[in-house]
């Protein structure tokens, strides 16, 4: 390779144009069926009182058998696209965060692309557990900022009811089904997604996992009878890690933008446990009225949680154009992520 060719290889980086990236539409979808704490009292040895005081959850949504993760994702995506005024032909990239894909492969984003009637644009899933939606936002954001794509659809969608152990009272009371979506585009105003932080710690893969069905423990009669195809969680360990990781991620994102909590209009945390959210809010110095909570209605919907909460908070008018908001999530992996957006 000649010297000039070598130097050309480096030039695209310097020519990259960084464009502001905005969330121009959000949407969400939850199935109609409500499973209440009272319903769970009839299924496992639990009480409404225990679930409410330990988690803050009162009810969750359960999708019917025929409904796949991609079906919920498409509903959420259509609502986001409608709000954004974006036609399916304009989507350049589809990213879906999920731990409950329709199938191990093809990826769920391909099913979504087809069901939406979108063009044959790239479509892939992000498996970062509950952090999948913000990981997706960051990836989509980078593609638009660089000028590679104009319009990116980012979705968090889960049918967790299919991987919950309905015999394990310590986990089955926590999770639900649903989907949230965002359409990303560049707009001329300078604000938009201001900073994103992502992280992972692979030394604690065992505290929250679904061990069976992958290359390590392929599906067999033994893995089924050992109940390896359902969620396993060491709740207390996850709890401790969640608070610390989300605090660190939130502070890092604020620091990147030279902002403090006083500048933030609305904090939208991962909706796993009210006690986690309260501990996080207190460490961040975020007053109750700034923190958006909907987990009492939906439980933990993993990658969809923050996406649904963002959509609901926006539609409820919890923040207006120009306001600063902070998203922060944590999940299996361990993974975590945060994002500061000027709406």
Contact footprint for ligand UT7 (CB under 6 A): 46, 50-51, 54-55, 130, 169-170, 173, 208, 235-236, 238-239, 242, 272-273, 276, 300, 302, 331
**For residue 58, what are the contacts with CB-CB under 8 A and spacing of at least 6?**
36, 37, 48, 51, 52, 296, 297
Instruction: Pick the closer one to ligand UT7 by CB: 110 or 272.
Output: 272
- Cβ 170 to ligand UT7, closest distance in Å? 4
- Cβ 240 to ligand UT7, closest distance in Å? 9
Instruction: Pick the closer one to ligand UT7 by CB: 84 or 164.
Output: 164
Residue nearest to ligand UT7 (CB): 235
Inter-axis angle of helices 305-315 and 132-145, nearest 10: 70
If you ran DSSP here, which 8-state letter would residue 175 be given? B
Instruction: Pick the closer one to ligand UT7 by CB: 253 or 306.
Output: 306
Give the integer Cα–Cα distance in Å for 316 and 270.
18
Structure tokens at 24: 């121009």
Give the integer Cα–Cα distance in Å for 40 and 47.
8
- Cβ 80 to ligand UT7, closest distance in Å? 23
Instruction: Pick the closer one to ligand UT7 by CB: 143 or 330.
Output: 330
Residue appearing with tokens 């893995």: 223
User: Cα–Cα distances in Å, from 73 out to 2, 113, 148?
Assistant: 49, 10, 24
Rounded to a whole number of angstroms, the CA Rg of the chain reads 20
Structure tokens at 15: 């020519």
Residues belonging to the active site: 130, 270, 300
Instruction: Pick the closer one to ligand UT7 by CB: 20 or 97.
Output: 97
Element (H, E) at 60: strand 59-61
Structure tokens at 282: 């207190």
For residue 271, say if its preceding peptide bond is cis, omega within 30 degrees of 0: no
């Amino acid at each position: 390779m000649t010297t000039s060719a070598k130097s050309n290889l480096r030039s695209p980086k310097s020519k990259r144009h960084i464009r502001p990236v905005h969330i121009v539409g959000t949407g969400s979808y939850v199935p109609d069926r409500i499973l209440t704490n009272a319903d769970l009292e009839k299924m496992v040895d639990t009480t409404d009182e225990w679930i409410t005081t330990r988690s803050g959850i009162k009810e969750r949504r359960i999708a019917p058998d025929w409904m796949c993760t991609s079906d919920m994702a498409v509903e959420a995506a259509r609502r986001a696209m409608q709000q954004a005024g974006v036609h399916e032909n304009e989507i350049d990239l589809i990213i879906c965060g999920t731990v409950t894909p329709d199938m191990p492969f093809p990826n769920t984003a391909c099913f979504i692309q087809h069901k939406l009637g979108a063009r044959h644009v790239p479509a892939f899933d992000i498996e970062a557990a509950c952090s999948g939606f913000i990981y997706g936002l960051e990836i989509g954001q980078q593609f638009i900022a660089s000028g590679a794509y104009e319009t990116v659809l980012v979705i968090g969608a889960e049918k967790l009811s299919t991987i919950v152990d309905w015999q394990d009272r310590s986990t089955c009371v926590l999770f639900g089904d649903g989907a949230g979506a965002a359409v990303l585009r560049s707009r001329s105003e300078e604000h938009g997604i201001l900073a994103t932080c992502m992280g992972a710690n692979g030394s604690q893969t065992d505290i929250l996992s679904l061990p069976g069905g992958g290359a390590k423990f392929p599906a067999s009669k033994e893995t089924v009878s050992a109940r390896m195809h359902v969620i396993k969680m060491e709740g207390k360990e996850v709890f401790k890690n969640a608070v610390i990781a989300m605090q660190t991620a939130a502070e890092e994102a604020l620091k990147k933008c030279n902002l403090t909590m006083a500048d933030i209009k609305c904090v939208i945390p991962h909706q796993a446990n009210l006690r986690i959210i309260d501990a996080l809010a207190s460490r961040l110095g975020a007053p109750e009225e700034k923190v958006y909570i909907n987990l009492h209605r939906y439980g933990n919907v993993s990658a969809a949680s923050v996406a649904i909460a963002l959509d609901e908070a926006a539609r409820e008018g919890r923040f207006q154009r120009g306001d600063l908001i902070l998203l922060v999530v944590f999940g299996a992996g361990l993974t975590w992520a945060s994002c500061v957006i000027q709406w």
